[in-house]
Amino acid sequence: MSVNVGDLDAIAVDARQRIGAASDEAALEQVRVELLGKKGALTGALRGLGSLPADQRAAAGARANALKGEIETMLASRARELQAARLQTLGDQEWIDMTFVPSPVRRGHLHPLTLILREVKAIFSRLGYEVALGPQVEDEFHNFEALNIPQEHPARDTMDSFYVDADHLLLRTHTSPVQIRYMLSHEPPIRIIAPGAVYRRDATDPSHASQFYQVEGLVVDRDIRLSDLKGTIEYFARSLFGPDRRIRIVGDHFPFTEPSIAAAVSCGICGGAGCRSCKGGWLEILGAGMVHPQVLRNGGVDPDHYSGFAFGAGLDRLAMLKYNVTDLRLFLENDVRFLKQF
């Protein structure tokens, strides 16, 4: 397509009319694209200059470049006019009511399990404990064998544990494997807690879930006694539940401790009188005991020179007891009405 000076003059007239008629910034941008865009009228004219005779090409090129500058100047001028006009009507069209009080911003809430974990960490931090972590996918040695859980134990059955492959890897059923791993990599004295998620094949109901959270504790040093464990449990229970809750410690049995005990606190709902939540006035909080000598050996610790105690508690259960929650499923539903209470 060949272009002459007359065509450029026509484009100039059309540009002045259309730029002057643009009523807002969006319309002005559309005019700019149609004139100077890749497919615009002036852009097409510039492409056609090459087809002109040599004696006309220089004059037409100079006129086209000058016209491009004129159009850009007109566009900028019209943009300033539109902006000035918008500012004049801003008070009527885009006002803000400074007296308007919006609805209160809803603040987020920490999950009660997060709150209970923070409190447990703080309590044991005051006693000099460190936090230790371990993998959630474990092998049978760390999850069972090193903890004195024999091959025929029902906990190792596929109906109770989540096995993930044929190499005897499984989702850990407790955080006790962290104790073995820590003993194998650290020399006594040892004083740790190991919080984390654990998995068991349990149907979800008010007191059970297939995934829940535990915190394990381990102390290994010279001359550690059962009385040290008893004092630790009492300090922990009174710090977490308050001085008014009574504490009961009774004998129990766990493969990895000898002797073994279980600790309970009086029900916070009925005060220990007995209700549907406690069924007798007491609620168990943890299992514990002196670390079995064979478990110490499995962790690379000589039981002839060192002794220790271990304990394990469900964080979900601790939260239920502290906050008097009667249904474990409430922790899983993410209901803001429930969470905002904490």
Q: Is residue 102 included in any domain, yes or no?
A: no
Of the candidates 245, 247, 221, 253, the one whose C-alpha atom is nearest the C-alpha of residue 233 is: 247
- State the DSSP code for 208: B
Q: Do both 25 and 167 map to the same domain?
A: no
Q: Do both 140 and 85 map to the same domain?
A: no
Q: Do both 194 and 118 map to the same domain?
A: yes
Q: Is residue 185 included in any domain, yes or no?
A: yes
pLDDT of residue 155: 63
Q: Is residue 306 included in any domain, yes or no?
A: yes
- pLDDT digit string (tens) for 295-329? 999 999 999 999 999 999 999 989 988 888 888 88
In 3-state terms, what secondary structure has residue 137? Answer: strand
Tell which of 37, 62, 93 closes a domain: 93
Q: Do both 39 and 122 map to the same domain?
A: no
- pLDDT digit string (tens) for 44-56? 776 666 666 666 6
Q: Is residue 19 included in any domain, yes or no?
A: yes
Distance CA(263)–CA(21), nearest Å, equals 85
Determine if the peptide bond prior to 206 is cis (ω within 30°).
Answer: no
Residue 209 amino acid letter: A
More confident: 206 or 23: 23
More confident: 313 or 280: 313
Position of tokens 């497919």?
39
Tell which of 33, 61, 93 closes a domain: 93
Position 275 pLDDT exceeds 90: no
pLDDT of residue 158: 60
* Sheet hosting strand 130-131, strand order edge to edge: 130-131, 190-199, 211-221, 307-314, 282-291, 257-266, 247-254
Confidence of residue 28 (pLDDT cuts 50, 70, 90): confident
Of the candidates 199, 216, 204, 182, the one whose C-alpha atom is nearest the C-alpha of residue 311 is: 216
Q: Do both 253 and 330 map to the same domain?
A: yes
Q: Do both 74 and 166 map to the same domain?
A: no
- pLDDT digit string (tens) for 106-134? 777 788 999 999 999 999 999 999 999 99
Q: Do both 136 and 10 map to the same domain?
A: no
Q: Is residue 107 included in any domain, yes or no?
A: no
Q: Do both 252 and 317 map to the same domain?
A: yes
Please name the helix (run of DSSP H) or strand (run of DSSP E) that holds residue 284, with its range, or none.
strand 282-291
Instruction: Express as a percent the part of the chain with pLDDT over 90.
Output: 41
Distance CA(268)–CA(185), nearest Å, equals 41
Domain total of the chain: 2
pLDDT of residue 159: 61
Q: Do both 76 and 197 map to the same domain?
A: no
Tell which of 59, 93, 127 closes a domain: 93
Q: Supply the range of the domain harboring residue 199.
A: 112-339
Q: Do both 63 and 198 map to the same domain?
A: no
Residue 42 amino acid letter: L
Position 92 pLDDT exceeds 80: no
- pLDDT digit string (tens) for 193-205? 999 999 988 877 7
Q: Is residue 259 included in any domain, yes or no?
A: yes
More confident: 248 or 167: 248
Mean pLDDT of the chain: 85
Q: Do both 182 and 227 map to the same domain?
A: yes
Confidence of residue 183 (pLDDT cuts 50, 70, 90): very high
pLDDT of residue 195: 95
Q: Is residue 234 included in any domain, yes or no?
A: yes
Position 2 pLDDT exceeds 60: no
Q: Do both 68 and 137 map to the same domain?
A: no
Work out the burial of residue 106: count CB atoms within 10 Å of its CB; fewer than 13 is exposed, 13-18 middle, 19 or more buried: exposed
pLDDT of residue 143: 92
